[in-house]
Amino acid sequence: MCGIIGYVGNRPALPILVEGLRRLEYRGYDSAGVALIDQENLCVTKSAGRLSALEQVLDHSMPQTTGIGHTRWATHGPPTDVNAHPHTDTSGKIAVIHNGIIENDRALRTYLQRQGVTFKSETDTEVLAQLIAMFYEGDLEKAVRKALREVSGTYGIGVLCADEPNVIVAARKGSPLIIGVGKGEHLLASDAAAILAHTTQVIYVGDGEIAHITPDELRLTTLDAIPVAKDVQQIEWSLEQIELAGYDHFMLKEIFEQPEVLENCLRGRLDQNENAIRLGGLVDCTKKLTGAKRIILTGCGTAWHAALVGEYLFEELVRIPTEVEYASEFRYRNPVIDEGTALIAVSQSGETADTHAALIEAKQRGALTLGAVNVVGSTIARETDAGVYLHVGPEIGVASTKAFTGQVAVLAMIACFLGRRKHLSPCAAAEFIAALAAIPKQIKRILDTAEEARKVAQIYTDRENWLYLGRGYNYPVALEGALKLKEISYIHAEGLPAAEMKHGPIALIQEGMPVVVIATAGRQYDKIINNMMQVRSRGGSIIAIATEGDREIAKQADHVLYVPDTIEPLQPLLTVIPLQLIAYHAAVIRGCNVDKPRNLAKSVTVE
């Protein structure tokens, strides 16, 4: 959730840290701070609020060449100057930035207080800074190692010590951390976006590893001081991909990128000559996966919605019993898992703490684990037995858009891949693959009419309660549409399987309440028209998402947004687009910060 950046080299560190923090701000944005070190002096500046508030109080001429920076998403204590990172020990010699949660911080705080330590902040991170200082006897790495042995919880940390001016010590357990390798310099970051402007060569710090970083040297060891050898890896993403490119917001850019990034996602994977799906990432586990008795799809938020679409796809195409689990519930439920279970973790970031924990739980109980992940080299991607990358490029907007369509496309390909090895006929596979190949251009057509969605948003943005209804494959899309609207515009919205409405939520419907109904052509079309009539007769205002050419629907709806025709299993890839646009425009019209909605952060790396 928090963003971490560090620099040790020969250039002034401050502009590099500030630029890195700007690129990390989507990870947490309630306060920010930097610590710079030079000639045995540690200079810490921090401020509550956005990065711009920190920039106003910084002395931008500071020449130091070693420093760390942090952008925070509060867990312990409100977003104040004092609770902002970096945190220092009482002497002001040690500074720490931290992403994660120290779970035994209360016990450690009490212990340190008994030793005479006085705390300035409410944070778990200050506890760590004081603990490192307590162990410090002239060797920062040793002190960090000793302190981390006392700590339980999760962390990605960067530590400076005034007595060791050209050194950053970093460590990781459960929170992402990478080291950028440059010429005569190293960078530390929680996210590749922070360092892409300087290098694409990185080393991924593993769980339980400590890095000792100087301008010219990088030494990795385990917590028990055993040396670790690591290869330098190349990041495939470019700087351009993480910039706005003329769009007002990353969310809008990412919505409009979908035709192109889905082409990338599908490229080389659809073989229309052989009616086959080619997924290199599944080659080694195909036999085991095909033989699975049960498939569990897990994720959080939007990824969980994509997993729900996956459930319908897998049951229809593969005919292996499939369940979808909230990752956060699954891990604490003593789930029944055995070697006949395959678990697919769905995640944009590959760093979501709950999804990662569910994956580890399943792995320990003997399941085959797979990932449908976007960020190459991320924790989930590295820890699954096999997987399929989304290849939709970096997603910066906190509201997930292109990752959803990427996740659904990947799950559709896995379903067809497995289906062909089970009961799916070449003819049915051919139809499915042709429909999938057509999706990017069909999304482009919807985006060409984006103004229609804006007009609808304009009419209803003053309403505080919305309902979203869908059936079958479009039920998860209803959930996703409601999540998009509430997370960025703060309008209360609920998504429902349309038939459930009459079992209670129908009581909410009153004159003028916006009800978005996904009513595309398909097996349940007549039933959803009935649901629309039930809404209408109670005064609700219907915004229908319908298939091009459906002239009848306009009679039952106040507004119709059309999408091109496709096969039912792939409709979510199209029906979600107008819902993303409605949410975006509603948030803009209400003056909300679309890319940095309140209380949220991209990539939820704490439980």
Binding site for ligand M6R (CB under 6 A): 299-303, 347-349, 352, 355, 398-400, 403, 483, 487, 603-604
Residue 460 beta carbon to ligand M6R: minimum distance, rounded to whole angstroms = 20
Active site residue: 93, 484, 596, 602, which one? 602
The tokens for 483 are: 């999540």
Residue number of the CB atom closest to ligand M6R: 301
Q: Within 13 Å and on the Cβ side, how many CA atoms surround 536?
A: 17
Does residue 455 carry a catalytic annotation?
A: no
Measured at the CA of 145, the angle between CA 355 and CA 152, to 5 degrees, comes to 40
Q: Minimum distance from CB of 587 to ligand M6R (Å)?
A: 12
Structure tokens at 379: 């924790």
Residue nearer to ligand M6R on the CB measure, 14 or 403: 403
Tell me whether residue 2 is one of the annotated catalytic residues.
yes
How crowded is the C-beta side of 497, counted as CA atoms within 13 Å? Answer: 10
Specify which residues 96 forms β-bridges with: 87, 159
Question: In the complex, what is the shortest distance from the CB of residue 488 to ligand M6R, in angstroms, rounded to a whole number?
Answer: 8
Whole-angstrom Cα distance, residue 479 to residue 497? Answer: 9
Task: Tell the smallest beta-carbon distance from residue 352 to ligand M6R (Å).
Answer: 3
Residues with Cβ within 8 Å of residue 456, at least 6 apart in sequence: 543, 559, 561, 582
Contact by Cβ (8 Å): 469, 528: yes
**How far apart are CB 355 and ligand M6R at their closest, in Å?**
5
Measured distance CA(362)–CA(379) in Å, rounded: 15
Residue type, 14: L
Q: Which is nearer to ligand M6R, 147 or 606 (CB)?
A: 606
Q: How far is the CB of 270 from ligand M6R (least distance, A)?
A: 24
CB of 221 to ligand M6R, least distance (A): 30
Place of tokens 């990128």: 257
Q: In terms of CB distance, is 348 or 547 closer to ligand M6R? A: 348
* Measured distance CA(492)–CA(399) in Å, rounded: 16
Is residue 320 packed enough to be buried (19+ CB in 10 Å), middle (13-18) or exposed (0-12)?
buried
Nearer to ligand M6R, 158 or 301 (CB): 301
The answer to whether residues 71 and 51 touch, using CB atoms and an 8 Å cutoff, is yes
Q: Which long-range contacts (CB under 8 A, 24 or more apart) does 119-122 make?
A: 120/82, 121/77, 121/82, 121/83, 121/87, 122/76, 122/77, 122/78, 122/83
Catalytic residue (one of 2, 161, 285, 416) = 2
Q: CB neighbours (10 Å) of residue 171?
A: 26
Strands (E), 114-259: 155-161, 168-173, 178-181, 186-189, 201-204, 209-213, 218-222, 233-234
What is the smallest separation between the CB atom of 600 and ligand M6R, expressed in angstroms?
6
From the centroid of its chain, how far is CA 417?
A: 26
Q: Which residue lies nearer to ligand M6R by CB, 167 or 408?
A: 408
Looking at the Cβ atoms of 140 and 242, the one nearer to ligand M6R is 242
Query: Shortest Cβ distance from residue 401 to ligand M6R (Å)?
Result: 8
The angle, 0 to 180 degrees and rounded to 10, between the axes of the packed helices 426-448 and 572-589 is: 20
**What b-and-e string marks burial along 499-513, b requiring 16 or more CB atoms within 10 Å of the CB?**
eebeeeebeebeeeb
Nearer to ligand M6R, 123 or 349 (CB): 349
CB nearer to ligand M6R: give 134 or 380: 380
Nearer to ligand M6R among residue 384 and residue 400 (C-beta): 400
Q: Which residues are catalytic?
A: 2, 602
